[in-house]
Amino acid sequence: MKLVLLGAPGAGKGTHATHLSDDYGIPHISTGDIFRANLRNGTELGLKAKSYMDQGLLVPDELTVDLVLDRLKQDDCKNGWILDGFPRNLFQAEALTKALADEGDEIDYAINLIVDDQEIVRRMSGRLVCSSCGVSYNTNGLMPKVDGVCDRCGGPVVRRADDEPETVLKRLNVYHEQTEPIAAYYRGLGKEARVDGALPKDETYALLTGLLGDKDGCHN
Ligand SMILES: [Zn+2]
């Protein structure tokens, strides 16, 4: 099972990817994790990436692609993988398609977790955090017993600047601009699977497993 996961920040990608990874026995791979692992191990690719990052430059697409393809060759990827945060643009998407095609392979789906912007704003702006101990609260769920005061340490419970509605909307605009061409690219290949991510978590997950099929019947 080879999956690319698309979805706005707050759409629940991380949660569902972790669950799929457990159920299907395939690694959940994010570019952040790949960079960190290569830097930690001082690999040649990692050192190259570091030389850009040290200068405050973006890591070039070619190098990002090399890092991801290198990761996909590792043993735990034999039965497949879930890519999260890659591809980030058309260049990367086409490079992934080509690298797989060279091995006579292709992705199964580019799963597009659809959650409308208003729902994302509602979810994100509901997140509160204790600025002393870092415990999370949520206006749609668990709230501190005393408004604005952490149950655990008595510290102030606040909404992070990143989760303010205007900030969330700005990030969503950037996301849509960057991601729509990638979704359209996979749509053109007949690989895009749009899944309703606005449902309760379990229902969205049931749609995903319905799409991907029984893990035991997983053919590769
Ligand atoms: Zn606290």
pTM exceeds 0.75 for this model: yes
Q: How far is the CA of 152 from the centre of ligand 1 (A)?
A: 5
Q: Is residue 121 situated within a structural domain?
A: no
Alpha carbon distances (Å) from 166 to 49, 63, 125, 160, 173? 33, 34, 10, 12, 11
Q: Is residue 147 situated within a structural domain?
A: no
What band does 220 get if pLDDT is binned at 50, 70 and 90? very low
Q: Give CA–CA dist 66/119, Å, rounded.
A: 36
Catalytic pick from 48, 50, 171, 194?
A: 171
What is the per-residue pLDDT for 142? 86
Instruction: State how many domains the chain has.
Output: 1
Residue 171 annotated as catalytic: yes
Q: How far is the CA of 201 from the centre of ligand 1 (A)?
A: 27
What band does 215 get if pLDDT is binned at 50, 70 and 90? low
Residue 88 annotated as catalytic: yes
Reduced to 3 states (helix: H, G, I; strand: E, B; else coil), residue 216 is: coil
Provide mean pLDDT across the span 55-80. Answer: 95
Q: Is residue 42 situated within a structural domain?
A: no
Q: Is residue 139 situated within a structural domain?
A: no
| pLDDT, tens only, 105-153 | 999 999 999 999 999 999 888 899 999 999 999 987 889 999 999 999 9
Q: Is residue 51 situated within a structural domain?
A: no
Percent of the chain with pLDDT over 90: 86
Q: Is residue 22 situated within a structural domain?
A: yes
Q: Give CA–CA dist 38/153, Å, rounded.
A: 37
Range of the domain at 95: 2-26+79-116+165-212
The environment of the single-atom ion ligand 1, i.e. residues with CB closer than 5 A, is: 130, 132-133, 135, 150, 152-153, 155
Q: Give CA–CA dist 205/113, Å, rounded.
A: 11
Domain of 184: which CATH number? 3.40.50.300
Q: Is residue 204 situated within a structural domain?
A: yes
Q: Is residue 56 situated within a structural domain?
A: no
Residue 40 annotated as catalytic: no
